[in-house]
Amino acid sequence: MMLFKLSLKNIKKSYKDYGIYFFTLILGISIFYIFNSIESQTVMLNLTKTTNNAVSTMTKALSVISVFVSFVLAFLVIYANNFLMKRRNREFGIYMTLGMGKGNISKIILFETMIIGAISLLIGLIIGTALSQVMSIVVANLFEADMSKFRFVISYSAIIKTVSYFCIIFLVVMIFNVIQVNRCKLIDLIQGVKKSEKIRIKNPYICTVTLIFSSALLGYAYYKVTSDVSSIGTLKDVILQIVYGIIGTALLFWSLSGLLVKLVMMRKGFYYKNLNSFTLRQISSKINTTVLSMTVICLMIFLTICIFSSSVSMNSSLKEGMKKLSTVDIAILKSSNLPKVNEEEGEEYTDEEIEKSNIAINQYLEIAGFSINENLKDIVSIKTYKTKDVTLRDTLDVEDEGFDSKETLVKISDYNKIAKLYGLNTYELSENEYMIICNVKNTINMRNSGLKNKTPISIKGKEYIPKYKECKDGYIMMSSEPQNFGVILLPDKAVDETMVTSEILAANFIGSSKEEKQLIENKVSELREKLKGSKLGFSTKIDIYNANIGTSAMAIFIGLYVGIVFLISSAAILSLKELSESADSKERYRTLRKIGLDDSMINRSLFVQVAIFFAFPLILAIIHSIFGIQVSNMMLESFGRSGMLKTIVITSVFLVVIYGGYFLITYLCSKNIIKE
């Protein structure tokens, strides 16, 4: 009982030292609960079956990521606890001097860990429960769910999961603490507070050469992943650029730690003004002893910014894409005039499949029991054509193997009909002209080279030349991902019925209300199930919406989850390093007071130190991110690019709130450590 009371007194006495530790624990517990309670939060929302499946997939993915997150948080808690243990070496030494055994000291630490863990879990879960209600609103907005049934929800499964994971983490912390105490010697505990890391003076010439080399290495990596990205063709090339970035970052911090004071000393008026000389030497000492930590922190912040920006940008692009893609209620693709054997794919068709392929889509649907007139309006039907006269080899004007696939051809009048329905641009062609519509960037670049050379194509002996020197945006089949790698538009007389390969029917559902459209959507779902295995491909506006909203939600939640945890980890490590340095420098600040300096000057010096210490990895991480985001956008090209301003604003808010919060708490705790 006496040891338990002593533990309580220790926590009350050292609560300011525990500030960062408490803040990290509470933040980690809250975030862990919020993202693991999403499934319970969505139960009350009136979601469709398809949307509910998307939420279920997302929550399963978050559960898997939670395992990774728990390891990151476990490392962070152990790291923070280790800092606190070092701060208390002298205290433990005094206990042993007064006759207390290591066993009793271990019991005190066990009680303290249990008390801190219980308080952190309680506060973290309360905050997490409150913020999870906000998350419910975010989920509802993402999935456009019915908020009329919204109510306050507590996820007991998320509470059990959070408590279980963090109890295991605290158990590991207890074991580490007991081992650490049992290994300590009395002399080390008493004198531990006087020990500090040995600072080695670096050769300024070597530092200068290293700075130039690291800058050149980073510049080369930036160039390779942006301007010269086409030369990166294998995973090995990608890994090599990552290695260059890591080495360049580490060498940059190493060289700056040796050059910082030398460079500022050249400006003697600034160097000897107020406490600038003391401040700069403190900063140089900190960077000098934390090169590896600064490198890891910088790279973690870089990953955080890229993850945040990519997920938010992807979410915005998908939302914009939904509006662009889902212009009609339904589009159906059906193969026509099937041959006995498909030469391109080597697929052999049955007589029944060949016979059915000659039936028009509207007749096919009527036979299957789906009335066109009762369910659809604004109906447009077009055909696509193929001929061995026009292949990729012909339009690209290349001789390479692998370009023998036949191009898709469409009459200009047919395209204009469906383009009007989709809300796309329409075009006109002369009798000897052709043009290409495409919406895949890499393919556009490849096709444009052929168009710029005015590459002609020949059909049934008649030659056609390109009207435009570049591809035009467009597509013929509405889908969740309209990957149109190229469709050639031709004058109507250029093709005939013998070349028909498929038919596309696009239309809107009869009715204006959401309920009426949903009834027809249900009929389409039944029809799709009934015709499973046939040569019909269905795509509806609701399909596109559900496919994109599921991907969008997955991107935004996983991005936020991992990004926030990485940001907490990097800021916490940086904060603990700064607090450790402040504790080691306490005697220096005492000396400043003895020679007559007031607290305002000392605190100003401390504020500048903490600010620069936090700014160093952040500034370099932002520079990395400028190029990293470009790489992310290239990788996510299929989702499009939009909402960059929104991305920057949201990322900045998280950086200010979390990183800025750690900076402020670090400064206040450091000020408390150095004061008399």
pTM above 0.85, yes or no: no
| 372 and 519 together in one domain | yes
The DSSP string of 562-592 is HHHHHHHHHHHHHHHHHHHHHHHTHHHHHHH
| Tens-place pLDDT, residues 247-264 | 999 888 888 776 776 777
pLDDT of residue 418: 92
How many distinct structural domains can be found in the chain? 2
pLDDT of residue 656: 85
pLDDT of residue 196: 46
| Alpha-carbon gap, residue 536 to 529, rounded angstroms | 11
In a domain, 442, yes or no: yes
| Tens-place pLDDT, residues 96-143 | 777 777 777 777 777 777 888 888 889 989 998 888 877 777 766 666
In a domain, 71, yes or no: yes
In a domain, 640, yes or no: no
In a domain, 577, yes or no: no
Q: Which amino acid, one-letter code, is at 266?
A: M
The DSSP string of 125-155 is HHHHHHHHHHHHHHHHHHTT-BGGG------
| 191 and 336 together in one domain | no
Structure tokens given for 539: 């795509």
In a domain, 141, yes or no: yes
What domain range is 463 assigned to? 329-540
Mean pLDDT of 211-220: 90
Q: Of 511, 540, 569, at which residue does a domain stop?
A: 540
In a domain, 69, yes or no: yes
| 191 and 334 together in one domain | no
In a domain, 352, yes or no: yes
pLDDT of residue 197: 46
Judge whether residue 538 has pLDDT over 80.
yes
pLDDT of residue 490: 93
| 190 and 333 together in one domain | no
Q: Is 403 helix (H, G, I), strand (E, B) or coil?
A: coil
Task: Out of 193-207, 217-231, 291-305, give the one with best mean pLDDT.
Answer: 291-305
Q: Of 475, 507, 540, at which residue does a domain stop?
A: 540
Paired residues of 538 in beta bridges: 332
Q: How confident is the model at residue 429 (pLDDT cuts 50, 70, 90)?
A: very high
Mean of per-residue pLDDT scores for the chain: 78
In a domain, 374, yes or no: yes
